[in-house]
Structure 1
């Protein structure tokens, strides 16, 4: 069975059994009808996924992997903060009349800084360092820029990525690992979406740098299930589980900026029925 399913079920059950509630507290999110959106939450959840063993897509329900990849390309490859450059509609709620979500996500990745080797934006610097000093402990991106928060339509949830390379004696290639830091996560709506996104990002960066995609460590500060999601989550985690799908990239692509969603190869993805019309707190 999928290890991602096992981790997801265990995480959800722990939140439901042992989490604390925000009911009655002052909370920012609300439902479409204006009702406060309370949560059951756990603090400091960490999950570890090894891409050398399997791709971490849920089989309890389908995760739209190509759409997830498109959003990650929107942020880290196209470096855009405009929904007109994105093929899905998940950011429509936070966009203004021009399509902008403010100085958030791709805008931050595109910002250039000066180094001794020249000027680089955040993603270009990651790729440069992985190619020139792969064992550096300083290879990361960060989208939580305090001076720009007031001009973001939504503060970044998954905000920091740190890359780390390991190599055992006799390894044919170095292994690229990743730590994803997330301040807050709606577990039902976004957990596996984010996990799969950053697994694909790890795979793309590793392939473009001649490395093997290794471990993804996902750290969630506030892992929560919304009050109106509890019954949906209980039904979801009781479903049958299936073996993980086989997910790979077109091996011909070796430049990070050449990847498209057509280069994602998904095979043998067996899964349960999709959950439609999940209420989203805003």
Structure 2
């Protein structure tokens, strides 16, 4: 069965059984009807996925792998903060009349910074280091920029990636690993969406650098299940689990900026029924 399913089920059980409730606290999120959106949460959840063994898409319900990747490419490749450059509607609630989400996400990835080797934005710096200095312990990105928070329509949730390259004994290729740091996550709506996004990013970066893909570690500071999601999660984690899908990339792509969702092939993805109309707290 899918390892991602078991990780997800174990995480949800732990939150439901051992988590802390925010009911009665002064919370920021509200439901569309204006009611306070309370959660049950766990602090400091750490999940590890071995991408060399399988792609970490859950099978309890379907994760739209290509749509998730499209959002990742919107941030990392297009470096855009405008939803008109995005093919899904996940950001509609936070966009202004022009489609902008402010100085958030892709905007921060596109800001150029001075390094001793020259001017780079954060994505190009990662690509440069993976090529020229792969064993560096400084290959990372950070989009939680305090001076710009007041101009962001939503503070970044997934805010930092740290890349680490290892050399396995006897292997002629290097292995690319990564850690995603996330300050907060809506487990039902976003957990596997984010996991699939950044697993795909690691696959893409590994391919264009002729590396193998290794571990993806997901660190969540505030992992929460919203009150109106609890019955949905309880039902979801009792479902039958299936083998992980086979996900491959077009092997001809050697430039990160050339990837599109058309270069992704998803095969044998058997899942339980989709949960529709998940209420989203804003």
TM-score, normalization: structure 1? 1.00
1:29 paired to 2:29 = yes
| Residue matched to 1:196 | 196
Q: Distance in 1 between matches of 2:224 and 2:6?
A: 18
**TM-superposition CA deviations, 1:222-252 (whole Å, max 9, x none):** 0000000000000000000000000111100
Q: Distance in 2 between matches of 1:98 and 1:171?
A: 50
1:242 paired to 2:226 = no
1:108 Cα deviation after fit? 0.3
Q: Distance in 1 between matches of 2:241 and 2:169?
A: 37
Q: Distance in 1 between matches of 2:40 and 2:168?
A: 42
1:72 paired to 2:72 = yes
Q: Distance in 2 between matches of 1:53 and 1:11?
A: 20
1:205 paired to 2:205 = yes
1:55 paired to 2:66 = no
Q: Distance in 1 between matches of 2:130 and 2:164?
A: 9
Alignment of 1:33-182 (within 5 A): 33-182=33-182
Q: Distance in 1 between matches of 2:43 and 2:121?
A: 32
Give the secondary-structure state (helix, strand or coil) at the position aligned to 1:34: coil
1:170 Cα deviation after fit? 1.4
Give the secondary-structure state (helix, strand or coil) at the position aligned to 2:278: coil
1:117 Cα deviation after fit? 1.2
| Residue matched to 2:220 | 220
Length, aligned pairs only = 282
Give the secondary-structure state (helix, strand or coil) at the position aligned to 1:188: helix
**TM-superposition CA deviations, 1:121-147 (whole Å, max 9, x none):** 000000000000000000001000000
**TM-superposition CA deviations, 1:171-224 (whole Å, max 9, x none):** 121000000000000000000000000000000011111111110000000000
1:169 Cα deviation after fit? 2.5
| Residue matched to 1:258 | 258
Give the secondary-structure state (helix, strand or coil) at the position aligned to 1:273: coil
TM-score, normalization: structure 2? 1.00
Q: Note the aligned Cα RMSD (angstroms).
A: 0.4
1:276 paired to 2:270 = no
Give the secondary-structure state (helix, strand or coil) at the position aligned to 2:107: helix
Q: Distance in 1 between matches of 2:36 and 2:232?
A: 19
**Where in structure 1 are there 5+ consecutive unaligned residues?**
none
**TM-superposition CA deviations, 1:16-64 (whole Å, max 9, x none):** 0000000000000000110000000000000000110110000000000
Q: Distance in 2 between matches of 1:166 and 1:212?
A: 10
**TM-superposition CA deviations, 1:59-79 (whole Å, max 9, x none):** 000000000010000000000
Give the secondary-structure state (helix, strand or coil) at the position aligned to 1:244: coil
Q: Distance in 2 between matches of 1:204 and 1:226?
A: 33
Q: Distance in 2 between matches of 1:242 and 1:33?
A: 37
Give the secondary-structure state (helix, strand or coil) at the position aligned to 2:232: helix
